[in-house]
């Protein structure tokens, strides 16, 4: 019996007891969630439902707890339900019921922990979205890791998620990038405002290899040469960004070009950015003043109204943001999630206001998450980029697994300082090694069991009575609720912290309970059943590591 099944059963019991009193008080599973007691002597699970509902239905908490406990004790798989203190209910499962979790995990495999809490939700998740004017660096790694992990837990909860990268490939920064690359390709002195770093020289060499006659073109038509250098350099830099992300085990479904917002339709329709102001005007939130077109974003909590188009006809960054939001709405996304860096706090009001002006519900249709800065002791500045710590260098130094795990281990809104040498260490003080080692141990048990002729041909869950077995089974039962909570709160760090607790429970079990009998002792059903438990632990460790984009090695 899982915690969720217990919560559902208690909700039904409470609903019946309340109805018998002639009172109308709604009860949901969320109201009756059970928790692990602080002391395992108090049982497997504890409920405070009686204390939450007693006053609302006009009764004493302990009296209501007694009625609930009596009904709980009649549920198949429950060994006892006892009252403690002012009205807590401590629930003890029988060994067979608890042990069934092992079979359930093994049989469900990769699907164990997945649910349908977010089924039917179509979510657009935008993250990273770094300018394609240079390589990805340390400042991008946190959102790359967290964004991909958030996507994975949302999908595990049943949502349909599209990972999207917004390419800022229009405007002044791209023009500056183009001038920098052209100068490098032609061997000219770098412009005064050029992007620094040896990577610009590499891009210049690539442009020249792709366009050998660039110098001749520049001599006749400098603007055409600039256009070619900018486009070839941009495509190469974007390719390198995509390659870096894939090496980081971060996957995007859509790379959305800002330039497409300015492009007219095939049949002469207005460009998305041209059409955006008309659509917002239809919603009644556009006005004209000071020779500019404005959107009245203060209607939705923004600190000031925003300019859409200036008198010279040039669109603002806000205009592009608005047009881009509308494309997400048009593509059928309900919730639009933005993951932004620590220097983007001002975007919260702006993006929320765009959603409101577009006719969306700002409470449910848009979520803006702000991440704090991360620094990494021991990291060296990139030789290519000069003034940054490049993601590719971090991957070469630390590996994807260590970076992904540590970045997913903390809430996004907490500043993060990491120790590079600790990330590289192969000791139990390094959480990623500790968890991966637990998984590797489950695989070693499998290999040794096979060599000893032990298989899963028998399953007797009532035999799993050792204290460490009860503890390990309890941790396995918690996993679906952990995944659901991580998805609901957009907090993948809950997965990482859970995995560390599960790994600790497994290591304690491994030290106390043998799958392979000692010496010439016969193989019994207890050993075969323990193999089921071992494999269940390995499966959940794999499932959880996958949700944060980390591998589960079979050997370490």
d(CA 409, CA 495): 8
pLDDT tens-digit series, residues 149-193 = 999 999 999 999 999 999 999 989 999 999 999 999 999 999 998
Whether residue 382 has pLDDT greater than 70: no
Tokens 């500019």 identify what position? 292
> CA end-to-end span of the chain, whole Å?
34
Whether residue 545 has pLDDT greater than 90: yes
The percentage of residues in the chain with a pLDDT greater than 70, rounded to a whole number, is 99
Whether residue 345 has pLDDT greater than 90: no
Least reliable range by pLDDT among 338-352, 451-465, 537-551: 338-352
- Concatenating the DSSP letter of every residue in 121-179 gives -EEEEE-----TTS--BHHHHHHHHHHHHHHHHHHHTT-EEEEEEEE--SSHHHHHHHH
Least reliable range by pLDDT among 97-111, 343-357, 382-396: 382-396
Contact 37, 46 (CB under 8 A): yes
- Concatenating the DSSP letter of every residue in 294-351 gives EE-GGGGT-SS-EEEE-TTSPBPHHHHHHHHHHHHHHTT-SEEEEEE-GGGTTHHHHH
pLDDT of residue 369: 94
Dihedral angle of Cα 354, 360, 364, 366, to the nearest 10 degrees: -30
| Strand arrangement, sheet containing 160-167 | 254-257, 160-167, 122-126, 335-340, 366-370
Tokens 């019991």 identify what position? 13
- Concatenating the DSSP letter of every residue in 8-32 gives HHHHHHHHHHHHHTT------GGGG
Whether residue 335 has pLDDT greater than 80: yes
Residue 311 CB partners (closer than 8 Å, separation 6+)? 290, 291, 292
pLDDT tens-digit series, residues 14-31 = 999 999 998 889 999 888
pLDDT tens-digit series, residues 453-470 = 999 999 999 999 999 999
Tokens 């500045």 identify what position? 381
**Bridge partner list, 88:** 84
pLDDT of residue 551: 98
Token pair belonging to 184: 């490098």
pLDDT tens-digit series, residues 98-154 = 899 999 999 999 999 999 999 999 999 999 999 999 999 988 999 999 999 999 999
- Concatenating the DSSP letter of every residue in 195-210 gives PPSHHHHHHHHHHHHH
Whether residue 322 has pLDDT greater than 80: yes
Tokens 């809490």 identify what position? 117
pLDDT tens-digit series, residues 389-414 = 899 999 999 999 999 999 999 998 88
**Bridge partner list, 415:** none
d(CA 509, CA 533): 10
**Domains, the chain:** 3-93 (3.30.1360.70), 95-169+372-556 (1.10.730.10), 172-247 (no CATH), 258-369 (3.40.50.620)
Q: Between these two residues, 425 and 386, which has the higher pLDDT value? A: 425
Q: ∠148-154-156 over CA atoms, to 5°? A: 105
| Range list of H helices, 409-492 | 420-424, 431-451, 467-489
- Residue 466's φ and ψ, nearest 5 degrees, are -65, 150
């Amino acid at each position: 019996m899982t915690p969720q099944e217990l919560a559902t059963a208690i909700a039904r019991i409470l609903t019946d007891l309340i109805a018998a009193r002639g009172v109308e008080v709604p009860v949901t599973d969320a109201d009756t969630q059970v928790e692990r007691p602080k002391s395992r002597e108090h049982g497997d699970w504890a409920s405070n439902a009686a204390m939450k509902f007693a006053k609302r239905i006009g009764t004493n908490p302990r009296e209501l707890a007694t009625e609930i406990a009596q009904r709980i004790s009649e549920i198949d798989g429950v060994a006892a339900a006892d009252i403690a203190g002012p009205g807590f209910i401590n629930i003890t499962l029988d060994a067979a019921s608890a042990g069934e979790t092992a079979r359930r995990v093994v049989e469900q495999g990769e699907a164990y922990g997945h649910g349908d809490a977010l089924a039917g939700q179509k979510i657009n998740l935008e993250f990273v979205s770094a300018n394609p004017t240079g390589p990805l660096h340390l400042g991008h790694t946190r959102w790359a890791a967290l964004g991909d992990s958030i996507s994975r837990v949302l999908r595990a909860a049943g949502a349909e998620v599209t990972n999207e990268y917004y390419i800022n490939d229009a405007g002044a920064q791209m023009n500056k990038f183009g001038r920098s690359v052209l100068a490098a390709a032609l061997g000219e002195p770098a412009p005064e405002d050029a992007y620094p770093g040896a990577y610009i020289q590499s891009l210049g060499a690539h442009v020249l290899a792709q366009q050998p006659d660039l110098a001749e073109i520049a001599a006749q038509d400098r603007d055409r040469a600039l256009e070619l250098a900018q486009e070839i350099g941009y495509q190469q830099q974007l390719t390198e960004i995509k390659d870096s992300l894939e090496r980081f085990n971060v996957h995007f479904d859509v790379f959305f070009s800002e330039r497409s917002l300015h492009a007219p339709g095939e049949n002469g329709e207005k460009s998305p950015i041209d059409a955006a102001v008309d659509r917002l005007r239809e919603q009644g939130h556009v006005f004209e003043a000071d020779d500019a077109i404005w959107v009245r974003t203060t209607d939705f909590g923004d600190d000031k109204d925003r300019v859409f188009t200036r008198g010279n006809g040039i669109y603002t960054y806000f205009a592009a943001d608005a047009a881009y939001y509308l494309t997400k709405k048009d593509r059928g996304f309900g919730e639009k999630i933005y993951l932004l860096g620590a220097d983007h706090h001002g975007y919260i009001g702006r993006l929320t206001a765009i959603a409101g002006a577009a006719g969306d519900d700002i409470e449910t249709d848009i979520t803006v998450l702000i991440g704090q800065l991360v620094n990494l002791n021991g990291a060296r500045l990139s030789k290519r980029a000069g003034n940054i710590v490049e993601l590719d260098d971090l991957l070469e130094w630390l590996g994807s697994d260590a970076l992904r795990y540590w970045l997913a281990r903390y809430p996004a809104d907490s500043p993060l300082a990491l120790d590079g040498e600790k990330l590289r260490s192969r000791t139990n003080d390094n959480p990623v090694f500790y968890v991966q080692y637990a998984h590797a141990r489950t695989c070693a048990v499998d290999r040794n069991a096979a060599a000893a002729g032990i298989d899963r041909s028998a399953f007797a869950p009532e035999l799993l009575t050792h204290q460490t077995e009860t503890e390990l089974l309890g941790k396995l039962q918690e996993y679906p609720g952990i995944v659901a909570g991580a998805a609901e709160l957009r907090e993948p760090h809950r997965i990482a912290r859970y995995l560390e607790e599960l790994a600790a429970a497994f290591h304690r079990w491994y030290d106390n309970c043998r799958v392979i009998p000692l010496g010439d002792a016969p193989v019994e059903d207890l050993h075969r059943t323990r193999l089921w438990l071992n494999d269940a632990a390995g499966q959940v460790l794999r499932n959880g590591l996958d949700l944060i984009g980390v591998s589960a090695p079979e050997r370490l």
